[in-house]
Amino acid sequence: MSDYSVTLSTTEPNNYVGLIKLRQGDVASQSIQATITANGQLFNFDHLAVFFNAVLPNGYVVRDKVTNVDYANSKLNYVVADSFLQEVAQVTAWFSFENDEKIIDSTKNFQYSVIGGWKECIPQGNYIYELSEIQREIEEIIGNKDFTSLISKISSLESNLKTRIDDLENETTAQLAQKVGNGKLASMADMGQEVKTAMTGGSVAVVGENTVIEKNVVDKQITPRKTSFLEQDSDNVLDPDFKKLYNCTYSNGIVESNVMSASQPFYINISPINPATGNSKMTLLAGIWYISMRVKTQNGVGEIEPSLFDRNGVRYRGSWYSGNKGAIPTNYVDLKFKITLTSAIESVGMAIFSLASDKYFIENLMISNKDIPFVTYHKYSFGSSINEPSLKIMDEKLSRISKKIVNPAFDFSHLRTYAHRALLHPINTLDGYPENTLPAFEHASNMGVDLVEIDVKRTSDGFFILSHDETIDRVSNGTGKISEMTLSDLRQYDFSYVGGQKMPKFVNELVKIPTLEEAIITAKRLGLNIVLDIGILNWDIMLVHNVVLAHNYEKHVMYNIQSIYYIQRLLSFDPYAVLFYTNSNMPDATTIKQLIELQSDLNTIGFGTQYTHFISSNPQKDENKAIVQQLVNSGIVVSAATINHSEITQHPNLLDDLVSIGIQCICTDDLRIEQKQKIVMNINDYIQLAPIVR
């Protein structure tokens, strides 16, 4: 059995667990023996059930109960089940400690690598196995005193190798005979027209002494695009003309980053607008582009993700394409990333995001494509304006309002409103639409709304459904607690009721309670973004996020969560998430500090509370406004709920007051408030000062 002894913390990052390699096909023979700590001391998880959890490459979360637990010594021994070894990849995992399905605590994430089963891989000749594994297999055979399988394997390998060699020899001989006759040297005549064109630029050259003379060389016929047959590569964009870099330095052709924390970016270059011409120094057409580089790290644990930005700050994220995958070693390796541009971009900026704490060294940075020519063909370079005071001013202004380019679906650079429970009329109104239902989605879309809020609860059989209340009594013709009912139970009832009365618009229609999956599918079809209010959880937030990921809708979902812990947990899986900590009370100094620490250049962190904290009759209104301004100045988005027409009637200047103190998001179920979202904070002056990537 392969045993991995590790120490895992519930409070500190598990950066030094070491390499855990788990092999497919090794049934009940690989275990993780973990000692659990918290703040450097043994973690007491007496009487709690322990589960092993992992997020597979396809986004699905798998779980299994750990039965071998030593509570007295804070140790556990988990024999890894086949369900955790489904794909050859690096997998993120953690242990959770639970009481009646409520997660009390969990370890910080760690990684294990799934590698292919060696028995199956040998005949294909694509796997170099370890001597210890061969020894284990042979010992099993000797122990059984049955050498049949060993002889069979050796015979199979020998036959397979001979067949492959014979096939390769015959194939090569046939190809040579077809392309070049026996006793004949290869000439231009034996080559296809495409090869001739690639070699000569379009015409056949006469090769010999003094045959290439100056008048035969046509200007610009030999270019980087002609000399790179497989891909058209740019020059190395690491240019000695750099004026300044951010979070990194440049020397002798190498960019050296600072020691970067997880999710922190360093900016390698910006291609600014040329002030003399008004044109960009680099333009890339729409299509697929590739960023290639040679890179190494200081500690061998870092990973990176590059992004391109256009002059308006729109971000295009790169994804791994080829080369070293996973942690980058301490020696140089080649990496290539793929970026799809949905439209032509100019004034290109590049930011490289660190996905794990480490220091990076980059050389030979190139941008390339296969099919698309450059509109202009220049190196990246910094403009002198990088040091101008105006850029600093703009950076400070933008950081105080919001990180606009993090997620275009949740752009808080102007006042945003969202439909409370997907409604555009006050709740408990008979002459309207049923809250948290698909008909409400349709109505909101028809009225031009692009952001709807929904509430999620979990059924007894594990389905996530839309409901604000813990029971169905108020909004249906049934009664009962959702957590004690199955989805099938809930589907029997009509959810177009208010206080026991049927809604007139749906007198001939039975409205079923929707699942979260059905809501996402409908939102996707209608082009709606979702505010997902999950309140206080008694189940793991990743179970909900997994549903979102399964439909590739994570860029269109914002979470309202009443737990800092679960915000931290979701960020550990999705550093790009839009997450609001919601509380009816104003945050204290500790909470403010936590929120500020949670934010990065990748995510959007917000705080949501009641509008009543800011009305004139509230004796703490000035203190509360100061807290909002502190949050906004620190990059935290602040939202207020729930504002309806009656509130505006009582407080005519409420919207103006909220905007003036920095409120950027409002929850409402009144269409008249939705239509007031034309109030926009003017940041155009800031954006036009100079290009920037954030």
Task: For residue range 445-497, list pLDDT tens digits in order.
Answer: 888 888 999 999 999 988 999 999 999 999 999 999 999 999 999 999 999 99
Residues in the chain: 694
Residue 356 pLDDT? 83
Answer yes or no: is pLDDT of 237 > 60.
no
- The residue to which tokens 């995992």 are assigned: 93
| Average pLDDT score over residue span 427-448 | 91
**Quick one: average pLDDT of 53-63?**
78
User: At a CB cut-off of 8 Å and minimum separation 6, what does 203 contact?
Assistant: none
Name which residue leads in pLDDT, 368 or 610: 610
The highest-level CATH class for domain 232-386 is mainly beta
> H or E segment at 534?
strand 529-535
Q: Which three-class secondary structure state does DSSP give residue 425?
A: coil
Q: 482: closest CA among 494, 471, 497? A: 471
| Number of alpha helices (DSSP H) and beta strands (DSSP E) in the chain | 17, 35
Least confident of 202-211, 320-329, 402-411: 202-211
**For residue 579, pLDDT beyond 90:** yes
**Of 109-118, 199-208, 531-540, 677-686, where does mean pLDDT reach its minimum?**
677-686
- The pLDDT, as a whole number, for residue 496 is 95
Query: What would the pLDDT profile of 528-566 be if each residue is shown by its tens digit?
Result: 999 999 876 766 788 899 889 888 899 899 999 998 888
Contact status, residue 170 vs residue 180, Cβ threshold 8 Å:
no
Spacing of C-alpha 162 from chain mean position:
47
* pLDDT score recorded for residue 376: 30
The gap from C-alpha 332 to its chain's centroid, in whole angstroms, comes to 26
Q: Specify the pLDDT at position 593.
A: 93
Q: Which CATH class is domain 2-116?
A: mainly beta
Number of C-alpha atoms within 13 angstroms, CB side, residue 96? Answer: 23
pLDDT of 358 strictly over 70: yes
Q: What is the pLDDT of residue 279?
A: 47
What's the CATH number of domain 401-460+516-687, 3.90.1150.10, 3.30.930.10, 3.30.43.10, 3.20.20.190?
3.20.20.190
At residue 657, φ and ψ (nearest 5 deg) are -65, -45
* % the chain with pLDDT above 70: 69
235: region left, alpha or beta (phi > 0 left; psi from -120 to 50 alpha): beta
CB atoms within 10 A of CB 354: 24
Instruction: Name 296's Cβ contacts closer than 8 Å, sequence gap at least 6.
Output: 328, 329, 330, 331, 332, 333, 360, 361
Phi-psi region of 399 (alpha: psi -120 to 50; beta: other; left: phi over 0): alpha
3-class secondary structure, 345: strand
Does the pTM surpass 0.75? The reply is no
For residues 608 and 23, the model is more confident at 608
Show me where the domains of the chain are located.
2-116, 232-386, 401-460+516-687
Which tens digit of pLDDT belongs to each residue from 270-326?
Answer: 554 444 444 445 667 777 888 888 899 999 999 998 888 765 667 788 888 888 888
**Per-residue confidence at 261, pLDDT binned at 50, 70, 90?**
confident
DSSP 342: S
What would the mean pLDDT of 668-673 be, rounded to a whole number?
76
CA distance between the termini of the chain: 49
φ and ψ at residue 188, rounded to 5 degrees: -60, -30
What is residue 205's predicted lDDT score, i.e. its pLDDT?
45
Predicted confidence at residue 135, as pLDDT, reads 63
pLDDT score recorded for residue 162: 66
Contact 63, 17 (CB under 8 A): no
Degrees to nearest 5, angle at CA 15 with 13 and 20: 125
Closest by Cα among 452, 425, 437, 455 to 506: 437
Per-residue pLDDT of 181-200, as tens digits, reads: 444 455 555 555 555 555 55
Kindly report, residue by residue over 348-357, the tens digit of the pLDDT: 677 888 888 8
Tell me the average pLDDT of the chain: 76
Cα dihedral 507, 513, 516, 521, rounded to 10, equals -40
Q: Which residue in 526, 525, 542 sits closest to 534, CA to CA? A: 542
User: Comparing 156-165, 237-246, 676-685, which segment has the lowest mean pLDDT?
Assistant: 676-685
Q: Which amino acid is at 445?
A: S
Question: What pLDDT does 343 receive?
Answer: 75
